[in-house]
Amino acid sequence: MRLDAIIASMQTETIHNLQIPKIGFGTWTVGGRETPDPATDAQSLAALRSALELGYRHFDTAEVYAAGHAEELLGQAVREMGLAREKLFITSKVSPEHLRYADVLYSCEHSLRRLGVDYLDLYLIHWPMQGMQLEDTFRALNLLLREGRVRHLGVSNFNLELLKQAQALSAMPLLTNQVPYSLADRTYVENGVLAYCQQNDILLTAYSPVKRMDIASHTVLQEMARARALTPQQVAMAWLTQQPRVITIPKSTNPQHQAENLRAGDLRLSVAEIEQLA
């Protein structure tokens, strides 16, 4: 990828006549982890309200997050804020154990109910599963598209071979492949997925954009952040969002960190800075 091509439009990514915020809000651990944890509801709702007040409009969730409770809390926070549905971009995901035709339809219907919405902007296969029948899965996903319960389709954690299979089966262009991607994790660069997405108008949604990074020992990142009066996390996320067809979904319960994450989408790194980081 040419370094001058890395400098992309900030804030939103325009694809298939759709504008998607470069920085979204992830909801893993909202309301619990694998199971609901009602003791954390107040903190989770406060984090969601804060994100909405700061201007986050792209929210990523899944039926497996707190066994659906994350979707419930997100729906509650949105209703309390009184935002019009069309102002939000909401993504949810179907779990790998629910990829049979009837199970996909059931999962989507229950995600919609928990969120309290009539449609999902984006619906993803959360993880590939050994022995899955993608033809059967996409038969259901394409029905959801036709019925208007889902506006766009995508996948998550798919390697290049599976991504191409999904692309061929989808009734409309796949919108994204959501994968781990950060300065510390270049797996989906090395396996060819990022380049393929950029060449085929598919977003790469980077989750865990700063996770597993040893920021304290990353000298270049630290120096760059100090020189710009930014946090290292902001610089790391700016490195992601300046790449064509890359967006990211950090999560924080801290309003200050939420605001810093959101501002990272507006930052511009120079070609020299990108070279240093890369």
DSSP 225: H
What is the spatial distance between Cα 235 and Cα 243, in angstroms, rounded to a whole number? 13
- Residue 153: its pLDDT value, please? 98
- pTM equals 0.94
Contact between 150 and 120 (Cβ < 8 Å):
yes
Sign of torsion over alpha carbons 153, 156, 160, 165: negative
Identify which of 57, 29, 31 has the alpha carbon closest to the alpha carbon of residue 42: 31
Active site residues: 65
DSSP 63: T
Structural domains in the chain plus CATH codes: 9-203 (3.20.20.100)
What is the spatial distance between Cα 199 and Cα 183, in angstroms, rounded to a whole number? 21
3-state SS class at 183: coil
Dihedral, CA of residue 134, residue 103, residue 16 and residue 121, to nearest 10: -160
Contact between 179 and 157 (Cβ < 8 Å):
yes
What is the spatial distance between Cα 175 and Cα 156, in angstroms, rounded to a whole number? 11
CA-to-CA separations, 207 to 53, 83, 172, in angstroms, rounded: 22, 25, 24
Identify which of 161, 256, 265, 153 has the alpha carbon closest to the alpha carbon of residue 209: 265
In tens digits, the chain (278 residues) has pLDDT values of 333 333 333 489 999 999 999 999 999 999 999 999 999 999 999 999 999 999 999 999 999 999 999 999 999 999 999 999 999 999 999 999 999 999 999 999 999 999 999 999 999 999 999 999 999 999 999 999 999 999 999 999 999 999 999 999 999 999 999 999 999 999 999 999 999 999 999 999 999 999 877 787 888 999 999 999 999 999 999 999 999 999 999 999 999 999 999 999 999 999 999 888 88
What is the spatial distance between Cα 49 and Cα 37, in angstroms, rounded to a whole number? 18
- Residue positions counted in the chain: 278
- Residue 5: its pLDDT value, please? 36
Contact between 84 and 117 (Cβ < 8 Å):
no
- Residue 4: its pLDDT value, please? 39
Angle at 196 between CA 192 and CA 199, to 5 degrees: 145
What is the spatial distance between Cα 66 and Cα 234, in angstroms, rounded to a whole number? 28
What is the spatial distance between Cα 111 and Cα 264, in angstroms, rounded to a whole number? 30
